[in-house]
Chain A
Amino acid sequence: MTSKRPWWGTVLMYVALAAFLLFLGFPLLWLLSASFKSTSELNSLAVNLIPAEWDFSNYTSALERQNLITAAGNSLLVSIATMVITVLLSMPMAYALARLKGKLRATGTIWILTSQVFPSILIIIPLFLVLRSINLNDTLFGLILVYVTFTLPFTLWMLQGYVAAIPAELEEAGEMDGATRITILRTIILPLLAPGLVATAMFTFVSAWNEFFLALVLLQSPELYTLPIALRSFLGAEGQTQLGPLAAGAILATIPSLIIFSILQKKLTGGMLAGAVKG
């Protein structure tokens, strides 16, 4: 039983969507505009979205000066690895958390919530000492392990909500057909969990991609710096900001994450459960 939407409703909906898109996209648009402006134009009081003169020197300056390409590679490596490990680890754990009953589940829940209480600055020195004792400080692998540790509790919490939303009747139906637990997980749960996994993957990727403080403290070699560290070097000692190169660097920094998102977003649809269970 569907009712046809009136034409003006459709128009209104698209206008609202366009306005919302503009609202969300304007900062990025302004950043793009700033990245093509000359220093003198950036220092002027003129407020114009289209640069008076298109200046590409900010991009060459950004690329030449701060090893942005290397930093982008490091960020990509760390973010993707963190994303994959976290998702792989949290998937079975989230299933157990959502489906199992008993003390272990309660303990797990308490552990997850407790681990979110501590700010990173509180544990950075012990963390640094632990990594140093296993020769993993100043390595990207060490940073990945730290990121996984920090993101895992939240992703676990997030993903178990998705698992809980999958009707148990589907699993029961599988069992009645003689499917093992593994088969049920692989053929029933996993496809239905895909949107949740994608959302979790996106969250993990963005968290690792944007993280600054842990990378700052744990990485000491310039060739291992991630993008946030490289971009911060455009900020000087006395609050000086090299706005043009910083804007150009920030634009370049968004490209890899846009590509990742464009790959993943197709999977981000919650409609797969529609009609799975008849009421």
Chain B
Amino acid sequence: MKSNRGIGAIALASVAILSLAGCTQGSANNGGESEDGAVTLQFQSLSDQPATQEAVKAIVDEWNTDNPDVQVEIVQAGWDGAFDKLITQFTGGTAPDIIHFEASSIVSFGTDGYLADLTDLIDDELKSDISEGIWESVTQDDQIIAYPSTLQSYMAFANADLLEAAGVEVPTGDTMTWDELQEIAKATTTGGTYGLGWGLASPTATMMSLGLGFDGGYFDGSGADATIEVGENELAVPERIHEMAYTDKSIEPTSLTQSGSDVLASFYGGKVAMTVQGSFQATNIANDAPDGFNWVALPPLEGSEGAVQAANPQTYSVNIDSEYVEESADFLNFFMSADNLAAVAYADALIPSSESARTEVEKLAADNPAWTQVLASGEGLVGPPFLKVEKYTEWKDTIATPAFQQYLADQITSEQLAKQLTDGWADIAG
């Protein structure tokens, strides 16, 4: 009967556990007003880096000290599954007052009427401090539905020693053309080394962003009536990558199936001379690269229309059903002040949306030369057409990503790629 004791113990423990579970209730209770009249705002933050969480907490603590009547409570959540969590919260009426997310993902929440119009609540000074292109990315039907906070661009990082060994000069201009990138990649491709490692396991965001450099906007119009056009401009980036991979053979083929972070190991190991990454990797490379690893951030990539990329900023929105929309906006105006936004952006290794915060980040990052290029790449960020498209996320996940993956695997031609993207949109848009 000894063997029954374990099970008996578990059963007994469970009774106690159940009693305990019955009493266990969370603290997320949609903010509200306390007995002394103080308002508590719930702020669902998705910041995942320890340094960023600390920066956000410091801002909230400062606000709470200065504003005893309007207290902010951080509800920490994660990016993974955030959309599902939010849609359930909105539908169930339990969404927090302040919502952290990203521009491309809040489009449907805005369309469904869950987000407050912040147009008249945003500080005028802040409005003028952020470019029209970035405001455009969070504007829906002439209503600003979010504060755009931090952004990322795509940029090339290079192993300076490998470039030197190949007799290639490191580009130092304000921008770098795709032709230059292609030439350097070819020149640095030798027996055991490829010129470029590019993590394109999820290629759509990269294609949509860099495509703007060639005026490849893909979509025209907004909401459910948007139309798609996949022409020469839209195909410029995928065709260029395809050419480098299969004609020049200067892109490490495995990297095309990996995530950006996965490719960094090949970059550190000297297996690829350059890698295209999200700009936030500048800080990771600075922290994680082997001792003595001689790396540089190359100038922003320039297409036929300039060094233009898509602005898909992280955002802070206010729940339209919140009883404290104005108080939430007041807090966000404080959160977005130059010092605060710079602290968050620097901790997250992202580009702040406002000019004054970028100036602050330059000071914070004075000892990291890569940041100069990171911030320079932020100059060309504009609101992309896809942010206005209601079913973009569905098209991206079910049509575009598999189609781009097939093209990058050399399984379909660029004409077939264009057809798949176009027909797929027609199916989804109905």
Contact = CB atoms under 8 A, between A and B. Distances in A.
A43 B290 CA distance: 9
A232 B6 contact: no
Contacts of A217: 81, 84-85, 88
Interface in A52-92: 65, 77-78, 80-81, 83-85
Interface stretch (A15-23, A97-105, A122-130, A155-163): A122-130
A237 B10 contact: no
Contacts of A224: 24, 26
A236 interface: yes
Interface stretch (A28-36, A138-146, A175-183): A138-146
A10 interface: no
Interface string B383-411: 00000000000000000000000000000
A273 B80 CA distance: 48
Interface size range on A against B: 35 or more
Contacts of A77: 17, 20-21, 24
Interface in B319-347: none
A263 B21 CA distance: 23
Given A44-B268, A129-B92, A237 B27 contact: no
Interface in B252-287: 259-261, 264-266, 268-269, 271, 278, 280, 284, 287
Contact of B288 (A39, A128, A129): A39
Contacts of A232: 78, 80-81
Contacts of A216: 80-81, 84-85
Nearest to B27: A221
Contacts of B27: 221, 223
A169 interface: no
Interface residues of B, number: 60
A132 B92 contact: yes
Contacts, number: 152
B13 interface: yes
A134 interface: no
Given A45-B269, A45-B271, A80-B13, A239 B202 contact: yes
A186 interface: no
A59 B94 CA distance: 35
B18 A81 contact: yes
Contact of B28 (A140, A220, A235, A237): A220
Contact of A125 (B75, B92, B259): B92
B34 interface: no
Interface string B307-327: 000000010000000000000
B17 A236 contact: no
Interface stretch (B46-54, B159-167, B237-245): B46-54
Nearest to B74: A222
B19 to A, nearest CB: 10
A141 B26 CA distance: 11
Given A80-B17, A220-B28, A237 B314 contact: yes
Contacts of A240: 48, 261, 280, 284
Nearest to B150: A237
Given A84-B10, A219-B26, A125 B265 contact: no
B6 A139 contact: no
Contacts of A220: 26, 28, 75, 89, 94
A57 to B, nearest CB: 12
- Smallest CB-CB A-B distances: 8 pairs: A221-B26, A220-B28, A84-B14, A45-B269, A138-B26, A263-B6, A233-B78, A221-B28
13 contacts: A43-B265, A45-B271, A124-B88, A137-B94, A138-B94, A141-B24, A220-B28, A220-B89, A221-B27, A224-B26, A237-B48, A239-B202, A267-B6
Interface of A: 39-40, 43-45, 65, 77-78, 80-81, 83-85, 121, 124-125, 128-129, 132, 137-141, 144, 198, 212-213, 216-217, 219-224, 229, 232-241, 260, 263-264, 266-267
Interface of B: 3, 6-7, 9-11, 13-15, 17-18, 20-22, 24-29, 46, 48-50, 75-81, 84-85, 87-89, 91-94, 102, 152, 202, 259-261, 264-266, 268-269, 271, 278, 280, 284, 287-290, 314
